[in-house]
C-alpha cells in the first residue's frame, strides 16, 4: 500500500452546482477528536444528528446532519464523517475548508494537530480505499462508477447486480474450480510414475471440460454486459441530401440536426446517444460526402471520413429518388469503394434506402439492405432490430451483470490458457509442468478481474476515472 493511502482525506461528495443537499466527506483513522471539534459534541455511530456547523470563530456556516461511521463498519473501512448541508457550492466549500483547517488545530493535551496530514481526496480515492480495505473487490468498485455513468435503465440494473457481487461470485466459482484442478495436477508432479492414472481417476479431463463450458457462459454474459456499458458507435454516411439528418432525428425522436433541401447543410458531426432495448447506441450524423470547393464543407467532409474510419458500424444511406441517375450511382460506388479501403473487415456497412414515401407505385426496390422513410418512420423498426444485430446483442437473460472491456479481455485470455491446457491434457504423454503453468496463468487472469492479482498502474487508471468525492 502506498504512503498516500494512509493519509486522511476529505472532499465534497456531491456533484458540482446547486442542489437541495450537499455532502462533505472525511475518511481516515482516529477521526473522533476532529468530529468533536467540528460538531461540538460526540456523535453516536451511524445515527444522524441535526446540529450547526460552525467556523473557527464560532459563527454558523450552516445547519445540517452529521453522521459518523467508525471503522471498519464504513464505506472505506476507515472512520468516516459525513456532513450533510444545503447544497450550495459556497456553503460546501466553506465546510470543506473548515474540515481542513480544524484538522490542524492543536489538541489541548498534546499540542499536536487533531488530524495531521488531512488533504483533499483524489478522484475515486474513497472507493479505492474501500477496495484496499477489502470492503469490495475491484469488479464491484468498477460497478460503482458504471452505476453512476449508466446511460440506460438496463445498464443501471446490471451495474447494480455487479455491485452486489453477482459478477464477482461467478469469477470466484470459476477460480475455485480452477484451484481444485491445479491442486490435482500439481499433486501428480510429486508422483510421476502414477500421474496419468491419478488424473484419469480424478476425471481431470471432465473437470477441465466443465470449467471451459462454464467460462464460455460467463464470457458470453460479460460481452453482453460490456455492450450495455459501452454501446457501439454508429455513423450515418452518404451523399448530400440523402436524408442523414432526418434519419438521426427520427431515431432520436427529436429535432437535433437541421434539415433543409440545400445540399451541404450539415457541416460538422451531430451526435446523439439513443437506446434500443437498453443498449446504448452512439449515432453520429456526418456531412454529405462529395467533392466540394467550400472550405468549411470540405473540413466537415474530412471529419466525416475520420468518424467513418473509427466506427463500429456504418449506415450507408442512399436516396431512392436519385438511384436511377448515372452521376448519383457513380458517386455512391466511389464512396463504397473508399469505405471498403478505410474500414477494417469486421466493421459492418448496412445499406439503407431512404425516401420510400416519395417513390411512385410499382417502382422496383433494392433486394438488399433496408428500405425506409426517415420522414414517415416506415422501416425504422427493422433498422432498430438490425442495429441490435450489428451490435451483437442477444435477448438478455434475467440477472445480466455489467462488465468492462478489460473483463472481457481477461476472460478471453483465461479461455486461451484453458484451451492450451486441454490440448496438453489430451495428449498421449502430457507435460504436466506445462499444464500446471497454463492453469496458473488462467487463475491469474481471473484474479485480475476482482483485483486479487493486479498492478498499481491498473488501479491508478481505474480509479482516476471516478469523480472526486467517490
pLDDT at 184: 82
pLDDT at 172: 95
258 vs 300: CA distance, rounded Å? 15
Domain 233-391 - what CATH class?
Answer: alpha beta
Q: State the fold for domain 147-227+404-451.
A: 1.20.120
pLDDT at 260: 41
- By residue count, the chain amounts to 470
Residue 51: asked if its preceding bond is cis (omega within 30°), the reply is: no
Annotated binding residues for GTP: 241-246, 260-266, 285-288, 373-375
Q: How far is CA 342 from CA 30, 98, 306, 329, 460, in A?
A: 60, 57, 9, 20, 35
Walk along the chain (470 residues) in steps of 10 and give the mean pLDDT of each run. Answer: 79 92 95 93 95 93 96 95 95 95 84 88 93 94 91 88 93 93 79 61 85 94 89 90 88 58 52 86 86 78 86 92 90 91 89 89 83 91 91 72 91 95 81 88 93 68 73
pLDDT at 262: 42
Residue 4 DSSP code: G
Q: Are 349 and 238 in contact (CB under 8 A)?
A: no
Choices 3.40.50.1110, 3.90.1640.10, 3.40.1830.10, 3.30.1360.120: CATH for 3-135 = 3.30.1360.120
Annotated binding residues for (6S)-5-formyl-5,6,7,8-tetrahydrofolate: 25, 82, 135, 470
Annotated binding residues for K(+): 241, 260, 262, 265
| CATH 1.20.120.430 intervals, the chain | 147-227+404-451
Using N-to-C axis directions, what is the helix angle for 380-391 and 244-252, rounded to 10°? Answer: 80
pLDDT at 266: 47
Rama region for 186: left / alpha / beta (φ>0; ψ in -120 to 50; rest): alpha
pLDDT at 461: 64
301 vs 414: CA distance, rounded Å? 43
Burial of 22 (0-12, 13-18, 19+ CB in 10 A): buried
| CATH 3.30.1360.120 intervals, the chain | 3-135
223 vs 70: CA distance, rounded Å? 39
pLDDT at 182: 86
pLDDT at 135: 95
| CATH 3.40.50.300 intervals, the chain | 233-391
The strand pair at 60-69 and 49-54 is best described as antiparallel
Annotated binding residues for Mg(2+): 245, 266
Annotated binding residues: 25, 82, 135, 241-246, 260-266, 285-288, 373-375, 470
With a threshold of 0.85, does the pTM exceed it? no
Amino acid at each position: 500500500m502506498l504512503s498516500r493511502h494512509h493519509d486522511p482525506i476529505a472532499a465534497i461528495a456531491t456533484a458540482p452546482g446547486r442542489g437541495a443537499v450537499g455532502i462533505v466527506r472525511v475518511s481516515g483513522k482516529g477521526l473522533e477528536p476532529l468530529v468533536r471539534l467540528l460538531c461540538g459534541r460526540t456523535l453516536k455511530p451511524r445515527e444522524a444528528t441535526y446540529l450547526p456547523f460552525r467556523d473557527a470563530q464560532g459563527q454558523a456556516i450552516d445547519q445540517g446532519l452529521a453522521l459518523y461511521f467508525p471503522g471498519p463498519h464504513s464505506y472505506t473501512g476507515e472512520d468516516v464523517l459525513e456532513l450533510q448541508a444545503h447544497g450550495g457550492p459556497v456553503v460546501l466549500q466553506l465546510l470543506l475548508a473548515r474540515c481542513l483547517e480544524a484538522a490542524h488545530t492543536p489538541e489541548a493535551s498534546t499540542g499536536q494537530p487533531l488530524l495531521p496530514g488531512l488533504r483533499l481526496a483524489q478522484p475515486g480515492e474513497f472507493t479505492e480505499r474501500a477496495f484496499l480495505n477489502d470492503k469490495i473487490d475491484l469488479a464491484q468498485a468498477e460497478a460503482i462508477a458504471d452505476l453512476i455513468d449508466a446511460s440506460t435503465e438496463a445498464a443501471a440494473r446490471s451495474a447494480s447486480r455487479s455491485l452486489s457481487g453477482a459478477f464477482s461470485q461467478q469469477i470466484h466459482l470459476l477460480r475455485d474450480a480452477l484451484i481444485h484442478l491445479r491442486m490435482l495436477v500439481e499433486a501428480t508432479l510429486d508422483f510421476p510414475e502414477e500421474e496419468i492414472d491419478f488424473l484419469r481417476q480424478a476425471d481431470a479431463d471432465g473437470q477441465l471440460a466443465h470449467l471451459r463450458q462454464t467460462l464460455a457462459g460467463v464470457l458470453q454474459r460479460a460481452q453482453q454486459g460490456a455492450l450495455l456499458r459501452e454501446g457501439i458507435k454508429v455513423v450515418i454516411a452518404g451523399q448530400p441530401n440523402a436524408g442523414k439528418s432526418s434519419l438521426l432525428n427520427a431515431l432520436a425522436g427529436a429535432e437535433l440536426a437541421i434539415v433543409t433541401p440545400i445540399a451541404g447543410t450539415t457541416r460538422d458531426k451531430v451526435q446523439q446517444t439513443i437506446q434500443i432495448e437498453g443498449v446504448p447506441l452512439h449515432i453520429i450524423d456526418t456531412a454529405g460526402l462529395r467533392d466540394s470547393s467550400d472550405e468549411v464543407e470540405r473540413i466537415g467532409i474530412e471529419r466525416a471520413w475520420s468518424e467513418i474510419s473509427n466506427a463500429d458500424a456504418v449506415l450507408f444511406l442512399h436516396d431512392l429518388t436519385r438511384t436511377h441517375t448515372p452521376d448519383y450511382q457513380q458517386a455512391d460506388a466511389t464512396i463504397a469503394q473508399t469505405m471498403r479501403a478505410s474500414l477494417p473487415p469486421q466493421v459492418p456497412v448496412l445499406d439503407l434506402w431512404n425516401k420510400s414515401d416519395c417513390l411512385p407505385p410499382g417502382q422496383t426496390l433494392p433486394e438488399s439492405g433496408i428500405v425506409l422513410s426517415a420522414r414517415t418512420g416506415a422501416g425504422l423498426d427493422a433498422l432498430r432490430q438490425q442495429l441490435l444485430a450489428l451490435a451483437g446483442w442477444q435477448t438478455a437473460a434475467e440477472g445480466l451483470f455489467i462488465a468492462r472491456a478489460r473483463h472481457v479481455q481477461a476472460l478471453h485470455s483465461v479461455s486461451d490458457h484453458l484451451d492450451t491446457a486441454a490440448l496438453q491434457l489430451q495428449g498421449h504423454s502430457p507435460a504436466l509442468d506445462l499444464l500446471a503453468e497454463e492453469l496458473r496463468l488462467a487463475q491469474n487472469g481471473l484474479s485480475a478481474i476482482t483485483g486479487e492479482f493486479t498492478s498499481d498502474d491498473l488501479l491508478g487508471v481505474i480509479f482516476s476515472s471516478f469523480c472526486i468525492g467517490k
